[in-house]
Amino acid sequence: MRTDDLIKALDADARSKAMPLRSVWWVAAAAAAVIAAVVFFLTIGPRPDIMVAMHTMRFLAKFVFTIVLAVTAFGLIRALSTPGASTVRAVAWMAAAPVLVAVAVVLELFMVPEVMWGTRMVGTNMMICMGFIPLIGIGPLAIFLWVLRYGAPTRPVLAGAVAGLLAGGLSATFYAAHCFDDSPLFVATWYTIAIIVLAAIGGLGGRLFVRW
């Protein structure tokens, strides 16, 4: 087939419509949040003393970390799924969540006596945390990988990993409402591991599934 012939076929198909990728990302984000919420409320649900906990800094700080991670990853993944879009600024913003967590960890180390560091870090919920963050996040991750496939990421593995971070940030935001371990030492350790698990699954999904 000559290229001119191919152009005739593409031109004849000019009227076929597809939803702009930009809009699809917002729909996907909303759908992912609904799925995460449903899984969260059907399984572990929020902690019973949530109204009291909301008045403590450590509890609220968890949401700052996870929401910042989700928002920055959302910005980056939209750029990564669009060919030729600049990712420099979005990549720089990805440092925000780790920096906030690092600052909180340093403050915690100053405020809490050294003998308690270990207890604070290990917490009481570590296995639930490592199990439920990936569990709540896996549905959203599947949606985000599907959108990547609908888009055109020129670096599919990286884009898949960022989809995992986005799913992780979203999932951890819900999980944080359940978890009794509010110390930044716990968050920095176990939330990070659980989110990295999702990022690794996302990267693998990007490699195997995001072809275009």
Partner 1 sequence: MTGKDEAELSRLLRAAIAGDERAYADFLHRIAALVRGFARRKIVQGGVDPEDVVQETLLAIHVKRHTWRDDAPVLPWVYAIARFKLIDAFRRRGRRIEIEIDDIAETLAEPEAETVSERDINRALDGLPPAQRSVVSAVSVEGRSIGETAAKFGITETAVRVSLHRGLAAIAKRFGRAT
Judged by CB under 8 A, the chain residues 29 through 68 that form the site for partner 1 are none
In this chain, which of 42, 114, 127, 211 binds partner 1, going by CB under 8 A? 211
**Strands annotated E in the chain:** none
Q: Identify the residue among 4, 42, 110, 114 touching partner 1 (CB under 8 A).
A: 4
**Rounded CA separation 21/23 (Å):** 5
Pattern of binders to partner 1 over 151-180, x per CB under 8 A?
xx-x--------------------------
By CB under 8 A, which span of 11-19, 65-73, 163-171, 180-188 interacts with partner 1? 11-19
**Which of these ranges, 9-17, 93-101, 103-111, 161-169, lies near partner 1 under the rule CB under 8 A?**
9-17
* Cα-based angle 161, 164, 168 (whole degrees, multiple of 5): 145
Question: What sign does the dihedral 166-66-139-161 (CA atoms) show?
Answer: positive
Distance CA 200, CA 5 (A): 43
Size of the site for partner 1 (CB under 8 A): 31
Q: Are 202 and 139 in contact (CB under 8 A)?
A: no
Tokens standing for residue 192? 């990070």
Q: How many CB atoms lie within 10 A of CB 85?
A: 11
- When computed from its CA atoms, the radius of gyration of the chain, rounded to whole angstroms, is 20
Q: Is 92 in the site for partner 1 (CB under 8 A)?
A: no
First to last CA, the chain: 21
Q: How far is the CB of 139 from partner 1 (least distance, A)?
A: 24
Indicate the residue among 78 and 120 with the shorter CB distance to partner 1. 78
Using the rule CB under 8 A, give the single segment among 8-16, 56-64, 119-127, 166-174 that binds partner 1. Answer: 8-16
Would you tell me which residues interact with partner 1 (CB under 8 A)? 1-16, 18-22, 81-85, 151-152, 154, 211-212
